[in-house]
Structures are given as structure tokens and as C-alpha cells.
């Protein structure tokens, strides 16, 4: 990536020199860019993912952001398994010297109405997002407490602020993550830990936006018009927010949920998640319809 795609020019070189960041979901389109920005500014990193080849390649690519950077890619790591995360955290400390920052970004999502969602499907998202976040906290906290500036960022969403059709599972999971972040701030804040949430809106070029939104140009233009800031977010927007929270400028921010979405959630009643311009609420729920213009529609017939 060109540096201008993932990093604003306002940040000083080397501000994270000597720091180590541990990232779950680190091969994903958002978390990999967050990591790349931190590495470019001096950090070393350990990224985790389910896919071995994808995670290792992402680590190699991120390491090119700065000469001499050390980036470990640990694939085949399931955040639902505490022992897998513990082994990864221990390896990170052994090879990189410690853990200063954590980004909890492992997540799952798909489009489905509640009437078409199985208990297993709901549990799968809750396990990856919520249990995976809890396991990440437990595995890294002993190492974080040895750092002079221990900080955690959780990558959440905004669906649960208002509720969103076809996203009951994700809304429940992200609400729980926001609550975990608050608990960490309260219980570990006195020990110096900062615990904050970044809640991205729709981010251009990411797998998440492709899966949740119609790919018709006219639908994307309609979506942009609903965003008060007048544009879809970029991965650089998320990376810049991450740098701010981990930098010395963010030392007094703790226990906060920060939407990075151009105020889109305040107009979320018109969000086009899993639908397109030909579909109207509540008609698409009554007929069990899901947009045919999604990359990966999980169709389930509604029984409302």
C-alpha cells in the first residue's frame, strides 16, 4: 500500500519505537492496516488469524512498512480456544520482548433474519466476537501489566446503538464487547491499563462492506448521501484513530466507545444492510427477501 492510503502525514516518525502490538484478526482488511500504521511508526507486531497462509503473507507484507520491522504471523489460531491465544501471547513475548498494545479485532458476520438464524449460527458469532475478546484479554493482560503504557482497542460496530435488521447476532456480540471494554477500564484502569473501543462505520474496500451492502453503484451513492460527513470511511480513518488512542495524545481517554463513521449511526434507521434500493422496510422482512447484489448473501426465509 502507498503510505498515504493508511497513514496521515501528521504523525511523527518513531513514536511507537520499542512498542509491541498483539492483534487478533490481524490479516483482515481493517486490522492489518491498523497494524501497518503502527509498524510504520516504530512498533513491532504479532498478528493472529485462522488462515495460516493468509496470516503469514499479511505479516510479511506489513513488515515492509518499515526497514528492520519485526512482524510475526501466527495462523491457525482460533480465538475461541484459550490455549491457542495463550500460546500466541507467550510466543509474542518470547520473540518480540513483551506486549504493550492489543487490538482485539477477530469477528464474524453474515446477513440473516432472526427467523432464519439457527442457535448454532448465533452462538458462532458470539463465540468468535465475545468469547474471543474475553480470551484475548485474559491471555494478554499479564503481559500488558508489565508495560509502561498498556492499552487495548476493541474493533466493534454501531449496529447495536439503534438495532439493525438482519444483524441481531452481530448487534448482540458488539454490545457485549463494548461492555467488556468498560469492565476492563474499571478493573484494570487503576493498574494503568487503557481500554477503548473503535466502532467503524462502512469502510471502503473492506470485506465487511462488500458482504453487507449492495454492489450496485446507485445503491452505494444512496448510502453515501445518508452519511452526514458525505463519504464512506477509509481504512486510514481507522488507522489514524488507532494511532491517536495508542499515542501520548490519548493517555487520558479510557473506557470510551468512539464511532469512526462520519456520524452515520445517527441516521442508522436508513442503513442499507443486506438490502438495496429496490427493497423497503419492513416489506423485505415480511417476504424474507435479501438483496441479490451482495457478495455472500445468507438467505433465510422470514416467518414474520
What is the pTM assigned to this prediction?
A: 0.91
| Residue 199 φ/ψ, nearest 5 degrees | -115, 95
In the structure grid, which three cell numbers stand for residue 183, read together?
Answer: 469492565
Could you tell me which residues come within 8 angstroms of residue 125 by beta carbon, excluding any fewer than 6 positions away? 107, 108, 109, 169, 170, 173
Q: Report the pLDDT value the prediction gives residue 295, as an integer from 0 to 100.
A: 61
Q: Which residues pair with 46 in a beta bridge?
A: 22, 72
In the structure grid, which three cell numbers stand for residue 223, read together?
Answer: 448510502
Cβ atoms of 73 and 121 within 8 Å: the answer is: no
Q: Which residues pair with 87 in a beta bridge?
A: none
CA-based nearest residue to 249, from 22, 41, 4, 28: 41
Rounded distance between C-alpha atoms, residue 242 and residue 155, angstroms? 10
Q: Report the pLDDT value the prediction gives residue 257, as an integer from 0 to 100.
A: 98
For the chain, the distance separating the N- and C-terminal CA atoms, rounded to the nearest angstrom, is: 46
Q: Report the pLDDT value the prediction gives residue 141, as an integer from 0 to 100.
A: 98
Taking every pair of Cα atoms in the chain, the longest distance, rounded to a whole number of angstroms, is 58
- Give per-residue pLDDT as tens, 267-288: 875 556 777 777 777 787 788 7
Catalytic positions are 156, 174
Helix locations, 50-167, DSSP H: 52-63, 82-96, 119-126, 132-144, 159-162
Burial class from Cβ neighbours inside 10 Å (0-12, 13-18, 19+) for residue 38 reads: buried
Judged by phi (left if over 0) then psi (alpha if -120 to 50, else beta), residue 37 lies in alpha
CA dihedral 282, 127, 20, 29 (to 10 degrees): -40
Q: Which helix (H) or strand (E) holds 212?
A: helix 207-212
> Cell numbers 446477513 correspond to what residue?
111
Rounded distance between C-alpha atoms, residue 35 and residue 173, angstroms? 23
Low-confidence ranges of the chain (pLDDT < 70): 210-212, 269-272, 295-304
Q: Which helix (H) or strand (E) holds 173?
A: helix 168-188
Could you tell me which residues come within 8 angstroms of residue 189 by beta carbon, excluding any fewer than 6 positions away? 195, 254, 255
Q: Which CATH number fits domain 14-262: 1.20.58.110, 3.40.50.720, 3.30.830.10, 3.40.50.1000?
A: 3.40.50.720
3-state secondary structure of 190: helix
Rg of the chain (C-alpha set): 19
Amino acid at each position: 500500500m502507498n503510505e498515504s492510503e493508511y497513514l496521515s502525514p501528521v504523525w511523527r516518525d518513531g513514536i511507537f519505537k520499542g512498542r509491541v502490538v498483539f492483534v487478533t484478526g490481524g490479516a483482515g482488511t481493517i486490522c492489518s492496516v491498523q497494524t501497518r500504521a503502527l509498524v510504520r511508526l516504530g512498533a513491532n507486531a504479532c498478528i493472529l488469524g485462522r488462515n495460516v497462509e493468509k496470516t503469514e503473507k499479511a505479516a510479511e507484507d506489513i513488515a515492509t512498512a518499515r526497514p528492520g520491522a519485526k512482524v510475526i504471523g501466527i495462523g491457525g489460531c482460533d480465538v475461541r480456544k484459550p490455549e491457542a491465544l495463550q500460546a500466541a501471547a507467550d510466543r509474542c513475548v518470547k520473540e518480540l520482548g513483551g506486549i504493550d498494545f492489543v487490538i482485539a479485532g477477530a469477528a464474524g458476520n453474515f446477513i440473516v433474519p432472526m427467523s432464519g438464524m439457527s442457535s448454532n449460527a448465533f452462538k458462532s458469532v458470539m463465540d468468535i466476537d465475545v468469547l474471543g475478546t474475553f480470551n484475548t484479554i485474559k491471555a494478554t493482560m499479564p503481559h500488558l501489566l508489565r508495560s509502561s503504557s498498556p492499552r487495548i482497542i476493541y474493533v466493534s460496530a454501531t449496529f447495536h446503538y439503534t438495532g439493525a435488521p438482519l444483524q441481531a447476532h452481530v448487534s448482540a456480540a458488539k454490545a457485549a464487547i463494548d461492555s467488556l471494554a468498560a469492565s476492563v477500564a474499571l478493573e484494570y484502569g487503576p493498574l494503568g491499563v487503557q481500554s477503548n473501543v473503535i466502532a467503524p462505520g462502512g469502510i471502503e474496500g473492506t470485506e465487511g462492506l462488500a458482504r453487507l451492502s449492495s454492489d450496485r453503484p446507485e445503491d452505494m451513492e444512496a448510502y453515501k448521501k445518508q452519511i452526514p460527513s458525505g463519504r464512506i470511511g477509509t481504512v486510514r480513518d481507522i488507522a489514524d484513530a488507532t494511532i491517536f488512542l495508542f499515542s501520548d495524545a490519548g493517555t487520558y481517554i479510557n473506557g470510551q466507545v468512539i464511532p469512526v463513521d462520519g456520524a452515520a449511526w445517527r441516521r442508522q434507521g436508513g442503513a442499507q444492510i443486506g438490502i438495496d434500493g429496490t427493497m423497503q422496510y419492513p416489506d423485505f422482512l415480511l417476504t424474507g427477501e435479501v438483496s441479490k447484489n451482495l457478495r455472500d448473501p445468507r438467505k433465510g426465509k422470514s416467518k414474520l
